[in-house]
Amino acid sequence: MNQIINHLLKSKNIFLATHVHPDGDAVGSLIAMGLAVEALNKKVTLYNENVLPAVYRFLPSINRIVQHANAENDYDTAVILDCGNLGRIGRLHSAIARMPVIINIDHHVTNTGFGDLQFIDTSASATAEIVYRLIRKMGLPISKDMATSIYTGILTDTGSFRFSNTSRAAFDICSELMGLGVDPYDVAQHVYGTYSLGRIKLLNLAIDSIEISENGKLSVMTLYQRMLDETGTHSEDIDGFIHYAKRIEDIKVAVLIRELSGGKNRPPDSRYHVSLRSDGTIDVSEIAASFGGGGHFSAAGFNIDSGIADVKKQIFKLARVI
Ligand code: AMP
Ligand code: MN
Ligand code: MN
């Protein structure tokens, strides 16, 4: 931690980035860390390659995050947050890999240890919790903006203090953040309170798509791009749907297969993101890693380049070993 702080103090122009299809922890960690480094009078760029989910747009400094950046600029340091591997940043990852110093701040069990300096704590409830510790160690005051961002990261990564990563530290930090001006009701209203009509209709399609393995232990939801088009929704609207598949009785592992939107070189119907959630008895990060992805014990994911029939076949095979 001290090495990271010493390096940040020496840096002048810092590039901060987080993972594609960002969640609350990715967005919250990015903003809080960005504002902290800026408070040290550094030049900062906050980057994420995707459109940010509407539910996080209430965060006061959300507009500081840019979707396009020139990674060839004179950055002396890159700070990568909530990414198990550098590729999770998306298309800029190889340009970022060439930056002089890379700092890796994360809590995934599958973190590859990339970069020059690492602060990886797999017992942290969220990357935002690690960011909180760094800010405290730097002796910086935590503004209301920073506090709300960190709180949102911890709230969403613990599934509103329901998942197994919910810890006393998570509660202690959030309690302190409330003292710094965070309004939990307001945050919850934004993050969980509002669904567009399209999102409700998409949820209906997602629930309708659920299939259960023969042994009743694995549930699979499938969402195609055309369903998003039909309901006027975006991939960010899918966030949280997998919990409906996980809640079904006797289910040990829930899977959500999502067709990725077709890029120029991506024939439709041939590339999917697969999300995995377990009831806490199965290590899905291991399953995801065997497909080239990663994550946590109970929540993990990977991308797969194949036709849907083959993807489903491979997924249903998993039911035999759970
Ligand atoms: P998701 O199901 O996409 O919401 O992701 C669940 C968890 O797995 C998150 O902690 C992600 O950071 C992680 N994850 C998802 N996809 C990948 C991937 N392709 N490589 C590594 N980690 C991933
Ligand atoms: Mn994340
Ligand atoms: Mn996280």
The average pLDDT across 42-62 equals: 95
Nearest CA to ligand 1 atom 8: 300
The residue among 174, 192, 210 that closes a domain is 192
Whether 262 and 150 share a structural domain:
no
More confident residue, 23 or 261: 23
Whether 121 and 177 share a structural domain:
yes
The residue among 192, 213, 237 that closes a domain is 192
Nearest CA to ligand 1 atom 4: 275
What confidence category does residue 267 fall into, taking pLDDT thresholds of 50, 70 and 90?
low
Which residues form the domain of 254?
197-321
Whether 135 and 7 share a structural domain:
yes
DSSP for 10-48 reads: H-SEEEEEE-SS--HHHHHHHHHHHHHHHHTT-EEEEE-
What's the predicted TM-score (pTM) here?
Answer: 0.92
Alpha helices by DSSP H, the chain: 2-10, 24-39, 93-97, 127-137, 144-157, 168-179, 184-188, 197-208, 225-231, 242-246, 284-290, 308-317
pLDDT at residue number 193: 79
Whether 247 and 222 share a structural domain:
yes
> By three-state DSSP, how is residue 81 classified?
strand
pLDDT at residue number 175: 98
* Tens-digit pLDDT profile for residues 110-135: 999 999 999 999 999 999 999 999 99
Whether 51 and 143 share a structural domain:
yes
Whether 174 and 34 share a structural domain:
yes
Q: How far, in Å, CA of 150 to CA of 30, rounded?
A: 9
Question: What is the best residue among 82, 83, 88, 256 to mutate for testing ligand 1's pocket, by most ligand atoms within 8 Å of CB?
Answer: 88
Whether 183 and 252 share a structural domain:
no
The CATH number of whichever domain residue 210 belongs to comes to 3.10.310.30
Q: How far, in Å, CA of 176 to CA of 158, rounded?
A: 17
Residue whose pair of structure tokens reads 């590859």 in the numeric block: 112
b/e for 283-300, b at 16 or more Cβ within 10 A? bbbebbbebebbbbbbbb
Q: How many structural domains compose the chain?
A: 2
Whether 130 and 214 share a structural domain:
no
Whether 169 and 208 share a structural domain:
no
pLDDT at residue number 263: 52
> By three-state DSSP, how is residue 101 classified?
strand
Query: Contact 108/296 with Cβ under 8 angstroms?
Result: yes
Q: Please tell me what DSSP assigns to residue 82.
A: S
b/e for 109-143, b at 16 or more Cβ within 10 A? bbbbebbebbbbbeebbbbbbbbbbbbeebeeebb
Whether 135 and 220 share a structural domain:
no
Residue whose pair of structure tokens reads 């539910």 in the numeric block: 55
Ligand 1 atom nearest the C-alpha of 275 is 2
Whether 32 and 68 share a structural domain:
yes
Nearest CA to ligand 1 atom 11: 295
Question: What is the best residue among 108, 109, 285 to mutate for testing ligand 1's pocket, by most ligand atoms within 8 Å of CB?
Answer: 108
Query: Contact 251/221 with Cβ under 8 angstroms?
Result: no
Query: Contact 27/152 with Cβ under 8 angstroms?
Result: yes
Q: How far, in Å, CA of 265 to CA of 272, rounded?
A: 14
The average pLDDT across 305-310 equals: 93
Whether 17 and 163 share a structural domain:
yes
pLDDT at residue number 94: 96
The average pLDDT across 14-31 equals: 97
Relative to beta strand 43-47, strand 13-18 is parallel
CA of 58 to the centre of ligand 3 (A): 19
- Identify which ligand lies nearest to the alpha carbon of 256: 1
The CA-atom distances, in angstroms, between 151 and each of 91, 163, 250 are: 29, 16, 32
> By three-state DSSP, how is residue 102 classified?
strand
The residue among 157, 192, 227 that closes a domain is 192
Question: What is the best residue among 291, 296, 298 to mutate for testing ligand 1's pocket, by most ligand atoms within 8 Å of CB?
Answer: 296
The CATH number of whichever domain residue 153 belongs to comes to 3.90.1640.10
* Tens-digit pLDDT profile for residues 190-199: 999 778 899 9
